[in-house]
Structure 1
Amino acid sequence: MFDASSTAAEVLAGVDLTGVRAIVTGASSGIGLATARALAEAGAEVTAAVRDTSAGFDFPVRVAPLDLADQGSVRRFVAGWEGPLQILVNNAGVMATPLTRTREGWEMQFATNHLGHFALALGLHDAMVPGARVVSVSSVGHVNGEVLFDDPNFERHPYDAWAAYSQSKTANILFAVEAAKRWAPDRIAVNALNPGRIWGTSLGRHMETPPDSFDPSGATGVSVKTVEQGAATSVLLAASPLVAGVTGRYYEDCQVAVPYTPGVRRGVADYALDPAKAARLWELSLDLMH
């Protein structure tokens, strides 16, 4: 059994991904890079979908431009994809950004973390073969707030960077819940996860210091990990035979997450797995993009 201390390489030890094609967004650094490396070292043909295509890699990888905050960039990436797809890891994200809006007027964290990946997954759906897996990288931060269905882009609510981040990470889980239901007939598995806390990655570039609410000491149960440990749950859901057939679930520390208990920074909030809210978010997302 794997746990919080397991690394991505350990999870995929002995797994042969020869002939498997994978896409990892945000693969130029942090857990995205570690995820892409582990998949490639297991034999997968990996495409790193990144904003900075000049980033160097020390393993075989195809690099393709993708800016998730730009729906035009998402459409171009989808149009350029040819052939089958077995693994999609929706890993890229931004956190606690100052109020910024896309050209559509969408709040940047919701646009990048959720809507960009939503459009990417929908656009690539027809390329996904039976048995394909989609992995949605969320965060324990989702327990801080639900999706603001009446104002997801903070047009009426006062903007709060952490509320916006929390809503986007809740959206990542709700996407997995609804996509798992919709795509079950296609035999496409969709799951979400909390990678744990990995300080020092580019995700925290807008933070001067970790806020007290994120429990720097780890005293309330949050898992503090290395980058390689942070990628372990992603590759477990992306490629391990141990979770074959699992769909619509939320994992952390390489295990199905327990229900969230206030005061403990782990587990999954009930609202993030609510099927009615998942369906509502799907329709909201489609409406925003049309």
Structure 2
Amino acid sequence: MSAPNRYAFHVIMQRLSPAPFVRPLALALVGALGLSACSLVPKPEPDPALTALYQRAAADATAAADAADPDTEALRSGDAQELKGEIERLCGHYDDGSVPSSCDVTATDAGSVDTSTPATTQILDTIAQVPQESLPVVVPEFVDLAARGATLPALHSADLSTATNSTMKKEELSQDVEALTEQLKQEYALIYGLGVALAFADSDLQQRVTDAIAQHREIASVLEASFPAGTTAPAPEAGYSLDQYTVPADAATAAQFVDEALADRAESWAATASTAHAESWRYQSLIIAGIVAQEQAG
């Protein structure tokens, strides 16, 4: 995700609620009960999932600096900075803007951080533990890494059944099913549009479009299999309007359509992954967001 798009994505997706404040009640209790009461006031702690991701990003940045890889160093340094800021935001701050000492996180010695697996794998393994409101910070990190060619796991269907997700709020599970429905409709529309583009594609574009059609048919198939019992997957329409994009009419406009449509899908899947609730839906939508980011990168 490019820097401008990533900034816009954060602005759109970041929740509007202010960061929690470490003040009035806790400070009042200390003042009223004396220093001995300090042990009664809970100390905010940094989120462990975000802390692990922060330390990994910092270790990657250090390794990239040692390897004279400025692009990766800049990317991972930026990731580490954003993750640290999110950790501190969740912890809260005092009236003077300082962060409680219990919320301090530091980058550990790079050699002590496990980097044996790709950073994208660590994010996928951690995504279920990431706070809901922090997903708009973590998802763009994953998408950027995927766009740089990270290996992604195979697609699998999500389990959105009430039995598996019995501890979830019903409205959250319903929101996931609604997102699943909308994304499947969008995949159908993309496949249709790619078929139109293929009719006008030149030899340089044909393989890219053919590969994209196969990829998104697989995505659609996985999404169809993700609908829980009692719900019905939408069927593809006979045709779709392409007016929101450059309509293919020759080789040049066909190429432009493919670029625009894949960019739109990449943004849409990143937004969906950033609002997913159920663990398997988070995992699946994040992988698809990575896949489409790789397609967009070419």
State the TM-score, normalized to the length of structure 1.
Answer: 0.29
The structure in which a higher percent of residues are strand is: 1
Larger radius of gyration: 2
State the TM-score, normalized to the length of structure 2.
Answer: 0.29
The structure in which a higher percent of residues are helix is: 2
